Amino acid sequence: MDDRSRRDAGPGKAISRAKGAPTRREGRLTIQTVAGDADGAERMRSLASVRRAREREREKRKGSGQEQARVAREVVIPDVITVSELANRMAVRGVEIIKFLMRQGVMLKINDVIDNDTAELVATEFGHTVRRVSEADVEEGFIKAEDVDDHLLPRPPVVTVMGHVDHGKTSLLDALRSSDVVSGEHGGITQHIGAYQVRLPDGQAVTFLDTPGHAAFSAMRMRGANVTDIVVLVVAADDGVMPQTIEAINHAKAAGAPIIVAINKIDKPGADPTRVINELLQHEIVVESLGGDTQAIQVSAKEKLGLDDLIEGILLQAEVLDLKANPDRTADGMVIEAKLDRGRGAVSTVLVKRGTLKRGDIVVAGDTFGRVRALLNERGEQLDSAGPSVPVEILGLDGTPSPGEPFAVVENEARARELTDYRVRVKREKTGSPMQGASLADMMARLADKKVSELPLIIKADVQGSAEAIVGSLDKLAHEEVRARIILSGAGAISESDVMLAKGANSPILGFNVRASKQAQALAEREGVEIRYYAIIYDLIDDIKGVLSGMLAPIQRETFLGNAEVLQAFDISKIGRVAGCRVVEGVVRKGARVRIIRQDIVVLELGTLQTLKRFKDEVNEVPSGQECGMAFQGFQDIKAGDTIECFTLEEVRRSL
């Protein structure tokens, strides 16, 4: 039918179709109609309908008890575990555990943490067996077991040089290794541990550790004693046994290390080796010449006298100790020192105790880990490996470990990360807020009672051990009224983040043998942050001690002048109440402080004698036995019979 025929048909009239013409399609276009099933054919079920039917069937089976029994598993439960992790280990949906806990009256989300007791209750209820483990179990196997005798080979002795400051420890070591390290020490004192290996002409080697002698470096000396086989105690022949000498003896005895006494500076005019030997007797050090078992060798580092005897004595002692280690195993040992180098990153000096440390090994030291990228000896030479008793610098750790931390090689990076994550978490918990768990009211009460003035400080040092020594020394300066509060201490150059932290904490930055970067220096100048540089620990401690002493409130010292008795009180216009007095003891002085006592009760504690008259004349002082008139600043309640004490107040500066 053409368009004209349609128009002629008009509205409401049926349109006639030609005979045999196909009927026109009506309704929606669907897959069924295209496939030819539109005429009365049954529609295909949708995928969603099939899923709903299967879900209803599954629920029906659960209700009728036809659900298959769960598989019983052994569930490993640590100290704390999240609900989602517990669900994974039990192979159930997390929502089922949450429903069970809700029935027990505990409302939790999928990522909430539960303790091991609750986790065990849940696992047991679901039909599983439980094996509880501690989080600290990750430490097991970090330092491997002791070696058997079959694999042990002789190793060089580790010798720690100890003694009082300026007794010539580093100079003696320089003479032994024919190098000049002491000239590089600021102020002529060693301020961090140096580790060197001296190789002898006959092929033998001796590892030396040089420890500081200053009192602040006690922790460093203790670390030196803990990793050592033999202690060489250096005592100056012209100075004798001093406080740090005694401390070194105690460290050596605590570590169980044999002592060899090196009496140094025998070339000086006032040298007296016999005096040194006698003073050592007071500390239970009996030398061989007096029938003891301690070697005493006279040396001169400056003139290079007695050095061969000292080396021979060390080798003899090492032979007696029969020092052995297994080089064919994974390496472990101790961190001697750590620092941040601008060009090389974190650099750690380590001493290998057992095994062989190779380039490429994955090392864990404290809460840091990394792959060893380079091994360097004390001369800066690259090494491929380092055996027992060899001190080396290693590059590649992701931070600076604390000196004294044990290190060990682990099998893979996953194990290293597991160990360090656990140690970081434990460290964070230990250094958490001391007020943790206290209520807000308790916290406010403590802050209200707090009367300690604090000096905030940020400390950056060249090595970790120096920063530790500075913090320890400043902690010892703490007083009941003032103390230093260390906001940050670490190794490395002063950075922009340090300056911003100092700005926020309103504290200065103390740089010990380090400098600020150019950007940090410019930022500090803009923000008004003070950066102080030090090269000698004495100067730093003395400066902070002076600042803390200035923060102490001065003492008010009272000096008695005299007593006066009020005979009569007068009211005078334009002046006020005036006391007619007689001085009964000492003198009274104009402008002095007064204390007024009435019937043994103090009515005015710190008044001021404003006016003092003798007859009609103003006078500055009235001696004992004479009468005078007095008026007091801001006080009018004067009565006959009152006693007036006259005294002066003097402020006395205090120091720590």
The candidate with the shortest Cα–Cα distance to 194, out of 173, 211, 175, is 211
Asked, for residue 560, whether it belongs to a domain, the answer is yes
Domain finish residue from 99, 133, 167: 133
Domain finish residue from 499, 521, 551: 551
pLDDT of residue 30: 62
The CATH number assigned to the domain holding 222 equals 3.40.50.300
Strongest mean pLDDT among 124-133, 211-220, 619-628: 619-628
pLDDT of residue 66: 41
pLDDT of residue 587: 92
**Structural domain harbouring 62:** 46-133
What is the DSSP pairing of strand 391-397 with strand 385-386?
unpaired
Asked, for residue 365, whether it belongs to a domain, the answer is yes
Whether residue 542 is found in the same domain as residue 572: no
Whether residue 89 is found in the same domain as residue 193: no
**Greater model confidence, 379 or 619:** 619
Q: Is pLDDT of 423 > 80?
A: yes
For 96-123, what is the mean pLDDT? 87
Whether residue 468 is found in the same domain as residue 534: yes
In whole angstroms, give the CA distance from residue 405 to residue 142. 13
How sure is the predictor about 53, in pLDDT bands with cuts at 50, 70 and 90? confident
The CATH number assigned to the domain holding 587 equals 2.40.30.10
How sure is the predictor about 221, in pLDDT bands with cuts at 50, 70 and 90? low
Whether residue 50 is found in the same domain as residue 107: yes
Whether residue 211 is found in the same domain as residue 271: yes
CB 394 within 8 A of CB 407: no
pLDDT of residue 184: 52
Q: Is pLDDT of 28 > 70?
A: no
Asked, for residue 264, whether it belongs to a domain, the answer is yes
Whether residue 420 is found in the same domain as residue 465: no
Whether residue 255 is found in the same domain as residue 384: no
pLDDT of residue 573: 78
The candidate with the shortest Cα–Cα distance to 588, out of 603, 571, 607, is 607
The pLDDT tens digits for 511-569 are 998 898 888 899 999 888 899 999 888 888 888 888 888 888 788 888 899 999 999 98
In whole angstroms, give the CA distance from residue 48 to residue 54. 10
Asked, for residue 464, whether it belongs to a domain, the answer is yes
Helix, strand, coil share (%) of the chain residues, nearest 5: 30, 30, 35
pLDDT of residue 19: 53
Whether residue 522 is found in the same domain as residue 559: no
What is the DSSP pairing of strand 627-632 with strand 576-589?
antiparallel
The candidate with the shortest Cα–Cα distance to 365, out of 416, 410, 415, 406, is 406
Whether residue 355 is found in the same domain as residue 312: no
Asked, for residue 462, whether it belongs to a domain, the answer is yes
For 110-119, what is the mean pLDDT? 86
Asked, for residue 177, whether it belongs to a domain, the answer is yes
Asked, for residue 338, whether it belongs to a domain, the answer is no
Burial label, 542 (beta-carbon count in 10 A; 0-12, 13-18, 19+): exposed
How sure is the predictor about 438, in pLDDT bands with cuts at 50, 70 and 90? very low
Q: Is pLDDT of 218 > 60?
A: no
Whether residue 459 is found in the same domain as residue 545: yes
Percent of the chain having pLDDT more than 70? 81
Asked, for residue 473, whether it belongs to a domain, the answer is yes
Domain count, the chain: 5
**Greater model confidence, 553 or 385:** 385
The pLDDT tens digits for 142-177 are 776 676 666 788 888 888 888 887 788 878 887 887
In whole angstroms, give the CA distance from residue 536 to residue 513. 8
Query: Helices 94-103 & 116-125, crossing angle to 10 degrees?
Result: 100
Whether residue 226 is found in the same domain as residue 272: yes
Percent of the chain having pLDDT more than 90? 8
How sure is the predictor about 434, in pLDDT bands with cuts at 50, 70 and 90? very low
Whether residue 214 is found in the same domain as residue 259: yes
Q: Is pLDDT of 582 > 90?
A: yes
pLDDT of residue 58: 79
Give the chain's mean pLDDT. 80
